[in-house]
Structure 1
């Protein structure tokens, strides 16, 4: 899995835009039991996309929604343990709130794309998309409900958004809605229209290893090359009407 994932990531970043595989042409969109579907892996992993906001012809790839190890229970090490692994100019996303500091290298986030975590008691996720060079830290709580984010296996582009670059499509496990971070909102499913919530700017930054060592000597550093057994079941939220009302545009 680790080798194949490395190869897949390398291929995704090296293939020119015009050569990226069209999800529509490769049959990733289909109908089943009266629902419009998007391929997600095995028969239990397809997405219902009856209210999809995006154009089918602008989807790329379709690798399966559990291909990338979007961490659920990330493990960390100390700066002293991690120091020999990183060069001063290597890039990290850092979340710092209360007495807690956690750092996620861009190198590792390129592999995971999403790391679900908690900082000072607040559920968050750190995310990075190498194709759009988009990295940010987001909140996971909506109206007292906590969501778990993962990677759909698709990218999407819009000529009028983010200079037309591809950006990953995420999904949440609790409603299986699809989200496009390049426009900061859910684009299908029960949560369609709900905005992604970035953690306040004062609580996270995009920085370097040298800066982390200087400013945050007690920081916890994400351990590299983690993987985990993908869950086969999880909590589902059926009543999200209030969330849609509160957090939509």
Structure 2
């Protein structure tokens, strides 16, 4: 037993994963239990100026967001844990309904199109917040915000470009929207624009003003495990507890003016 513990201590990757998971649990705990005392991102120095640009802390020195055209109020941002803390999945793994173990009342987002049926538990989405996936050849992402109780399936393709979404580490509130509830701020890897799902659009970056695209209602639903077992026995179910090494670099789109023109609302 002692040898096993010593070996565990040497496993740096495992320790980092445990620390990240503990931070996520702590964040969710203080978000729900201590809702009235949410830490102000601005008061905690998450906004700063660098080389003539307005910046938002993103974790590591090369991960900060450039927010010169931010469409939100800085004083209404909360937290700022770093944009790679939550493990937004890039290549999710699934299991069969037979192999999965859930209670009948457990809540799921379910997507179905063509021959594909994908089930994402709200419990797992609370940890990942975003699961990038593909259904019937169409890139999508499943997202859930525990603070606003907002869950939906979105498209990831704009014109001929596919985007990858993740959580920024920030929440934002507006007293005039969703009864003033906090909602997670997302970002896309390809342009590093920020998105606020509570208003369904990008709020900074090259894609500012572009609308989030929900998958058509006929292709997804908010349901329970009991319904999935009875009506969708061939569904693929997201495996719990997944993690991955965050990418060091990723594809970048330099010119998205056609997307802004086609999908923007300004």
In structure 2, how many angstroms separate the alpha carbons of the residues matched to 1:232 and 1:159?
37
Unaligned stretches of 5+ residues in structure 1? none
In structure 2, how many angstroms separate the alpha carbons of the residues matched to 1:2 and 1:137?
24
In structure 2, how many angstroms separate the alpha carbons of the residues matched to 1:10 and 1:212?
29
Aligned to 2:250: 234
Q: Which moved more, 1:7-16 or 1:55-64?
A: 7-16
Aligned to 1:222: 238
1:88 to 104, 129, 136: 104
In structure 2, how many angstroms separate the alpha carbons of the residues matched to 1:7 and 1:55?
26
In structure 2, how many angstroms separate the alpha carbons of the residues matched to 1:100 and 1:33?
48
Aligned to 2:217: 201
RMSD between superposed Cα atoms in Å: 0.7
Number of equivalent positions = 246
**2:95 pairs with 1:74:** no
In structure 2, how many angstroms separate the alpha carbons of the residues matched to 1:9 and 1:100?
32
Q: Higher Cα Rg: structure 1 or 2?
A: 2
- 3-state SS of paired residue (2:99): helix
- 3-state SS of paired residue (1:81): coil
Aligned to 1:54: 72
Alignment of 1:100-249 (within 5 A): 100-249=116-265
In structure 2, how many angstroms separate the alpha carbons of the residues matched to 1:204 and 1:14?
31
Structure 1 segments, 4+ long, off by >3 Å, are none
Aligned to 1:5: 24
Alignment of 1:19-30 (within 5 A): 19-30=37-48
Q: Write the deviation string for residues 4-58 of structure 1: whole angstroms up to 9, x where unpaired.
A: 32232222222123x0000000000000000000000011000000000000010
In structure 1, how many angstroms separate the alpha carbons of the residues matched to 2:63 and 2:109?
30
Q: Please state how far the C-alpha of 1:2 moved relative to its aligned partner.
A: 2.4
In structure 2, how many angstroms separate the alpha carbons of the residues matched to 1:154 and 1:107?
20
- 3-state SS of paired residue (1:225): coil
- 3-state SS of paired residue (1:126): strand
Q: Write the deviation string for residues 151-197 of structure 1: whole angstroms up to 9, x where unpaired.
A: 00000000110111000000000000000000000000000000000
TM-score normalised to structure 2 length: 0.91
TM-score normalised to structure 1 length: 0.97
- 3-state SS of paired residue (1:80): coil
